[in-house]
A and B are shown apart, each in its own frame.
Chain A
Amino acid sequence: MPYLTESLAVAGRILIELGRQRRSLVFWSVFPVSILLLIGTILTGRTGLAFDAALNQAAASALVGAGFFFSALGGTVAILVSEREQGTLRRLFLSPLRGLSYWLGICLAQGTIGLGQTILVYGVGAIWGARFQGSWLLGGLVLVLSLMGYVGMGFILGSLLGRRTEDVNALVATFGLPLVILGGAFLPTSLFPQSLLDWAKYDPVYHMNEALLAVGADGEGWSAIENHLRFLVGFTVLAVAGGVLAYRHMLRQERYL
């Protein structure tokens, strides 16, 4: 019960702050939608797909490659860096807040933002007739794993390397953008040379993208995405464990008054 109360308090606090700084919320809404429409338009123009089908294809990239990536990963790094800069982390360490509750709270807040982005992306797609083809449950599982993995990664980057606000963009760009591009979020993996494809198989974004594409655009089931899910579960576990360790390291460094 204390974990739930604490996590809800952390999530609520993040969302209130975000709501009060409306700009970030607007940007995080505009960004995946613009990526969806851009990639949809490119796919329609270059492959001859109908716009609704193109949007179906683009939705996966827009969500896991753009929306979740920048809000969950970039957002988590930004939260940690901002708490560090404001010194509120030290105040949290003075309270009985548990590290796991803190992590769950951030996950919950990012999950709420992610849910909003999902509704927005598929809602905008639906205006042009795009429909989620497969199981929502399976799609939801891919999204939750992606989100948790990103938050874990954000914890690692934010705790170990994020010291100042200026670091956030540099960190996300250096560690994240190559993964997003290699994952096929902005360029279809069908355009990749074999050497890059071999690397892409170790990229979590590739598996998020491919799994969501298979379920959402092609209506595939469990068996078609089993390998992607296995990779994602492994990545999420590693990212979360790494995040917890990095958080503990930060706790040792920052906790003193």
Chain B
Amino acid sequence: MLAVENLHKAYAGRPALRGVQFSLQPGEVYALLGPNGAGKTTLVNILCHLLKPDQGHVWLQGQPLSNRNRCWLGVVPQENLLYRHLTCGENLDFFARLYGVPAPLRPQRIRSCLQQVGLGARQHSVAHTLSGGMLRRLSIAIALVHQPKVLILDEPTAGLDVEARFEVWELLNTCRQSGMTLLMTTHLLEEAERVCQRIGILYQGRLEAEGSLDELRPLIPAREVVHIQTPDELGVQDRAVHLGLTQRRYSQGLSFWLPEVLTLEAILAQFQGLPITSIARQPVQLEHIYLEVTRQSRA
């Protein structure tokens, strides 16, 4: 559906993208992760046909991306970028006209898009009266009004509260079920894990890792990660070195990779004699993979 082939882009000699390539199958949701400055925005600008790559190609349904076929794309920018004094229906109608949706189809298309995003009852509400979550859903509806084949979303839940975030995830799931291909950039690893089938990790312009979560898991030679809270971190670290465990620091604090699944009792037994305040274990998560990939790339 969408294929990116050996993309290179530099700004004033400073490389922003270095040989990025990946492809998306129909109905697939792909997350593009990466720290600030990794090249995500440059890549999205190229995918939206706003920026030309120095080298490489973008293919959309087997054709090179051009002005002619860019209307197969729907784009949801990071900010909502809506006409605040127009109603939801008028916002959609305006963009439907720009995308050349035929006049007889427009009223029905607008209604169904608003229903799809859960704003069916707000067609005649002026945009500035909507909540943040509703505005975001309206922004997504605008991107859907011309029935694109590929939807590109730039941090779709940035700045939303938890409830609104869940609503957007549900909506994206509905889009995927309808056969649409989705590509999204995000800083939220939970979002990528929940919504996306495949994940690409971009670091300093290079796609360092790519695949489904199961395909990415072997990047960490561990079955589980154990998080330990202790007043004697040095003692615990020494013991971990003695046990041959790899040590990392995640959002939960001091953590170790376990090469095999152990019971909590077995783990505690290994740290016997040390003051452990709390201990938790979990399977390898995207957070661990992401931090490992960026760590190795930095090194």
A residues with CB within 8 A of B? 2, 5-6, 8-9, 12-13, 16-17, 20-21, 86-88, 90-97, 255-257
What residues of chain B lie closer than 8 Å to A256, measured between beta carbons?
41, 45, 50-51
Query: Is A94 a contact partner of B85 (Cβ separation < 8 A)?
Result: no
Query: Is A9 a contact partner of B78 (Cβ separation < 8 A)?
Result: no
Within 8 A of A (CB), among B61-107: 67, 70-71, 75, 77-79, 81-86, 90, 94-95, 97-100
Query: Is B100 a contact partner of A90 (Cβ separation < 8 A)?
Result: no
Q: Mark B27-70, 1 if CB is under 8 A from A, else 0.
A: 00000000000000100110010110000000000000001001
Query: Is B85 a contact partner of A20 (Cβ separation < 8 A)?
Result: yes
How far does the alpha carbon of A188 sit from the alpha carbon of B190 in the complex, in Å?
Answer: 71
Query: Is A96 a contact partner of B99 (Cβ separation < 8 A)?
Result: yes
What residue of chain B has the Cβ atom nearest to residue A92's Cβ? Answer: B98
Query: Is A16 a contact partner of B90 (Cβ separation < 8 A)?
Result: yes
Given A16-B86, A88-B82, A256-B45, list of 4 further CB < 8 A pairs?
A: A12-B94, A13-B83, A90-B81, A96-B98
Query: Is B94 a contact partner of A96 (Cβ separation < 8 A)?
Result: no
How far apart are A92's CB and chain B's nearest CB, in angstroms? 8
How many residues from B make CB contacts under 8 Å with A? Answer: 29
How far does the alpha carbon of A16 sit from the alpha carbon of B124 in the complex, in Å?
Answer: 13
How far apart are A12's CB and chain B's nearest CB, in angstroms? 8
Query: Is B50 a contact partner of A86 (Cβ separation < 8 A)?
Result: no
B residues with CB within 8 A of A? 41, 44-45, 48, 50-51, 67, 70-71, 75, 77-79, 81-86, 90, 94-95, 97-100, 126, 142, 154
Closest 10 pairs (CB-CB, A-B): A9-B97, A91-B81, A87-B81, A95-B98, A17-B85, A20-B85, A94-B75, A13-B94, A97-B98, A255-B50
Per DSSP, are chain A's interface residues mostly helix, strand or loop, or mixed?
helix
Query: Is A5 a contact partner of B97 (Cβ separation < 8 A)?
Result: yes
A96-B98, A257-B44 given as contacts; is B154 within 8 A of A17 (CB)?
Answer: no
How far does the alpha carbon of A9 sit from the alpha carbon of B99 in the complex, in Å?
Answer: 11
Query: Is A94 a contact partner of B50 (Cβ separation < 8 A)?
Result: yes
How far does the alpha carbon of A88 sit from the alpha carbon of B138 in the complex, in Å?
Answer: 14
Query: Is A9 a contact partner of B98 (Cβ separation < 8 A)?
Result: yes
How far does the alpha carbon of A195 sit from the alpha carbon of B94 in the complex, in Å?
Answer: 51
How far apart are A9's CB and chain B's nearest CB, in angstroms? 4
Query: Is B50 a contact partner of A257 (Cβ separation < 8 A)?
Result: yes
- Residue contacts A-B, CB under 8 angstroms, 18 given: A2-B100, A5-B100, A6-B97, A16-B85, A17-B85, A20-B126, A86-B81, A86-B82, A87-B81, A88-B83, A90-B77, A90-B81, A95-B95, A96-B67, A96-B99, A256-B50, A257-B41, A257-B48
Query: Is A257 a contact partner of B77 (Cβ separation < 8 A)?
Result: yes
How far does the alpha carbon of A21 sit from the alpha carbon of B86 in the complex, in Å?
Answer: 10
What residues of chain B lie closer than 8 Å to A90, measured between beta carbons?
77, 81
A6-B98, A9-B97 given as contacts; is B48 within 8 A of A94 (CB)?
Answer: yes
What residue of chain A has the Cβ atom nearest to residue B96's Cβ? Answer: A9
What residue of chain A has the Cβ atom nearest to residue B77's Cβ? Answer: A257
What residue of chain B has the Cβ atom nearest to residue A83's Cβ? Answer: B83
What residues of chain A lie closer than 8 Å to B83, measured between beta carbons?
13, 17, 86, 88
Q: Pick the contact of B85: A6, A9, A21, A257 (CB < 8 A).
A: A21
Q: Pick the contact of A94: B77, B97, B100 (CB < 8 A).
A: B77
Q: Pick the contact of A17: B78, B79, B81, B86 (CB < 8 A).
A: B86
How far does the alpha carbon of A231 sit from the alpha carbon of B75 in the complex, in Å?
Answer: 45
What residues of chain B lie closer than 8 Å to A12, measured between beta carbons?
94
What residues of chain A lie closer than 8 Å to B50, measured between beta carbons?
93-94, 255-257
What residues of chain B lie closer than 8 Å to A21, measured between beta carbons?
85
How far apart are B77's CB and chain A's nearest CB, in angstroms? 5
How far does the alpha carbon of A94 sit from the alpha carbon of B48 in the complex, in Å?
Answer: 7
How far does the alpha carbon of A88 sit from the alpha carbon of B127 in the complex, in Å?
Answer: 13
How far does the alpha carbon of A2 sit from the alpha carbon of B83 in the complex, in Å?
Answer: 22
How far does the alpha carbon of A12 sit from the alpha carbon of B77 in the complex, in Å?
Answer: 24
What residue of chain B has the Cβ atom nearest to residue A256's Cβ? Answer: B45
How far apart are A253's CB and chain B's nearest CB, in angstroms? 12
A17-B85, A256-B50, A257-B41 given as contacts; is B77 within 8 A of A96 (CB)?
Answer: no
Counting chain B CB atoms within 10 Å of each CB, the highest count among A21, A86, A93, A257 belongs to A257
What residues of chain A lie closer than 8 Å to B70, measured between beta carbons?
96
What residue of chain A has the Cβ atom nearest to residue B90's Cβ? Answer: A16
How far does the alpha carbon of A157 sit from the alpha carbon of B167 in the complex, in Å?
Answer: 42
What residues of chain A lie closer than 8 Å to B90, measured between beta carbons?
13, 16
How far does the alpha carbon of A94 sit from the alpha carbon of B100 in the complex, in Å?
Answer: 14
How far does the alpha carbon of A87 sit from the alpha carbon of B50 in the complex, in Å?
Answer: 15
What residues of chain A lie closer than 8 Å to B75, measured between beta carbons?
94, 257
What residue of chain A has the Cβ atom nearest to residue B49's Cβ? Answer: A94
What residues of chain B lie closer than 8 Å to A88, measured between beta carbons?
81-83
What residues of chain A lie closer than 8 Å to B100, measured between beta carbons?
2, 5, 96
What residue of chain B has the Cβ atom nearest to residue A8's Cβ? Answer: B97
How far apart are B202's CB and chain A's nearest CB, in angstroms? 16
What residues of chain A lie closer than 8 Å to B126, measured between beta carbons?
20
How far does the alpha carbon of A90 sit from the alpha carbon of B86 in the complex, in Å?
Answer: 17
